[in-house]
Amino acid sequence: MKLVILDRDGVINEDSKDYIRSPDAIRPIAGSLEAIARFTQAGIHVAIATNQSGIARGFFDVDTLNRMHGLLCSRAAALGGRIDLIAFCPHGPAAHCGCRKPEPGLLQSIARRFELPLADIPVIGDSLRDLQAAQRAGARPILVTTGNGPGVAQSLPPALAEVQIFANLYAAADALLAGA
């Protein structure tokens, strides 16, 4: 494994129904930044694939999003972690773009950037759309039960019934680094 792709809100950062709109709303989930550090120290690249329709909805702009991501990166770096790439979809659901999860565009873009096939690349998310994007891209979907994960775990469709489920990103990192 040379790469892991993570969703942001609900996996790394606490999610909010009102959208994460400013750097003040960046509140890492316990153990998530440490998990990123563990991946980094194991020589695994970390990328984030995140839908950010708050841009299309006018809740924040790209500069604000970049400040939020800069803060997340600096907090991970303080623990010895590195986020190598953050890919985001700025479109709203009505745009029907190829980059908004559950479409695979963001994941495919990340794969091109790292010049890696997505087969067996773990994509860790807390929402059904994260898992569907991973499946559509030919990657390995993994669910965490932080964020939206508890509800998703209760209603996985048959096509995703075999998805690995972990309590949080740290537990997923434990299993992946142990070779699970």
CB-based contacts of 5, cutoff 8 Å, min separation 6? 47, 48, 49, 107, 110, 121, 122, 123, 124, 134, 139
User: Residue 63 catalytic?
Assistant: no
- From 9, 15, 126, 130, the catalytic residue: 9
Residues 48, 29, 73, 126, Cα dihedral to 10°: 10
Rounded CA gap, 96 and 2, in Å? 31
17 CB neighbour count, 10 Å cutoff: 4
Q: Which residues are 146's β-sheet partners?
A: none
User: Among the options 7, 15, 126, 130, which is catalytic?
Assistant: 7
Q: How far apart are CA 15 and CA 12, in angstroms?
A: 9
Q: Is-catalytic flag, 7?
A: yes
Pairing relationship of beta strands 45-51 and 85-89 according to DSSP bridges? parallel
Provide the annotated active-site residues: 7, 9
